[in-house]
Amino acid sequence: MDVRRQRSIVVIAHNLRSVHNVGSLLRTGEVFAADKVYVTGFTPYPAHPGDERDATLQAQQTRRMAKAAAGAHETMPFERHPDVHALLGSLRGEGYAVAGLEIDPDAVALDDYRPRAKVALLLGDEVRGVDPLLRDNCDVLLQIPMFGRKDSLNVSVAAGIALYALRMA
């Protein structure tokens, strides 16, 4: 078996605002064989068994997410977690390295990072990125090198680049 497929990768989507970004993230996670996508904070998520949200909200978010997800909202394992800090602690206890994807002076270039066998990729909101308290709770911050005039990417696009790099490393 290809060693790249043996790496366990989970994604934590914390405080994403856009249902379209979440749908795209579920699809991208499926493509790169992420084990699970965790949604925390106010990140929207598709309807699921035991969902306690208002039925109208469930249907609305799932319907809007479905187009970008292209069916992955039904196949990509995801879990709603109420406390991102507890989740990071739990994943770390399971042997995951917590890697925040962020533009930061202390970040390691994604192509220079050599991931462990288990990686938890932490994504922050579309406007402010990974919260500073969460950055401090990461084992490493990763940054995608950029060469054009723009200095940021859409969160789901950045996640796709990072998942590819982590899978192929």
Q: What is the CATH number of the domain that holds 111?
A: 3.40.1280.10
Q: What domain range includes position 25? A: 3-168
User: How far apart are alpha carbons 150 and 152 in whole angstroms?
Assistant: 6
Query: Residue 94 gets which letter from DSSP?
Result: T
- Axis-axis angle for helices 55-69, 19-31 (nearest 10): 50
Q: What pLDDT is stored for residue 140 in this prediction?
A: 98
Number of domains within the chain: 1
- pTM assigned to the model: 0.96
Cα angle 137, 138, 139; round to 5: 125
Q: What pLDDT is stored for residue 6 in this prediction?
A: 87
Q: Which residues of the chain have pLDDT under 70?
A: 1-5
Q: What pLDDT is stored for residue 1 in this prediction?
A: 45
| DSSP run (H or E) holding 27 | helix 19-31
Closest to 144 measured CA to CA, from 127, 128, 136, 156: 156
